[in-house]
Amino acid sequence: MYEPAPEPDSVHPLRGLLTLDELTRRVGLSVRNVRFYTTRGLVPPPIRRGRSGYYSPDHVARLELVQELQGHGFTLSAIEKYVSGIPATATPEDIALHRTMLAPWEAERPVEMSRKELTARAGRELSDGELETLGALGIVSPVKRGRWEVATSQLSVGIGLLDLGFPAEAAVAAADLYAAHGRAIAQELHELFRTTVWPAYKESGTSPERLREVVERLKPLSIASLVSAYEAAMDETKRENIARRTR
């Protein structure tokens, strides 16, 4: 899968290179995992200097990318497919840009809590059906037995809807709509960023850290723009429906 680019003759034979032990300490992986990822083609083989193998910043960047993908729940096959799309000539800085694109876009990071803590935060006991409705609304999500991830700023809104008898089937149907249209918007915005924003910053020599800051600043603006567009569309839809009924 991976075909390393030839090394310049002018590079010092060991300058900037790491031993296997140094690499594992740097990325926090075991020797076994590094070797496994190498055999799967996720990172290039070590650079040979006599009988010893060494690792470059390229190895570090690619291993960190694999860890990032794992952290986002990618399966091994999905990671292999993603990594196969990155050219062998990509620099560590290029790979860092890929990691920047993977940064989570949640406006609020959920808080993990027990069922007892969730009950206390909700102010009352929640039935399994109510938890299902809150789950469909994207407010709670089970992570393991007896533990939940909760969007705490939205919990009171969800409890209010439950108290008003909001039907579970409506929550599920709405969640399906949000997911379908959310994916479409995300794909289009990702393509816009990939083809327009990323090349402009890359050409100007912007560092991955600087680009990550751009992405972070873009998040609240994107969310606010989506909310404004949704509100405007809802108002327009209501006006159209009223006009149809009065014809």
Rounded distance between C-alpha atoms, residue 79 and residue 65, angstroms: 9
Q: Is a pLDDT exceeding 90 seen at residue 171?
A: no
Q: What is the mean pLDDT of the chain?
A: 83
Distance from C-alpha of 217 to C-alpha of 224, rounded to nearest angstrom: 12
Identity of the amino acid at 141: S
**Pick from 217, 193, 212: nearest CA to 99:** 212
H or E, element range at 143: strand 140-144
What size, in residues, is the chain? 247
Of 87, 61, 78, nearest to 5 (Cα)?
87
Helix axes 128-136, 152-163, angle to 10 degrees: 120
Share of the chain above pLDDT 90, in %: 32
pLDDT at 176: 86
What's the rounded Cα separation, in Å, for the pair 207 and 38?
27
The answer to whether residue 5 scores a pLDDT higher than 80 is: no
Average pLDDT, integer, range 108-118: 86
- The whole-number pLDDT of residue 24 equals 94
Q: Tens of pLDDT along 192-233?
A: 877 888 788 777 877 767 777 777 777 777 777 888 888 888
CA dihedral 202→83→89→30, nearest 10 degrees, is 110
112 pLDDT above the threshold of 80: yes
pTM of the model: 0.52
**Per the structure block, which two tokens stand in for 45?**
């083989």
Say which amino acid occupies 203.
E
Q: Which band of pLDDT confidence, cut at 50, 70 and 90, is reported for residue 6?
A: very low
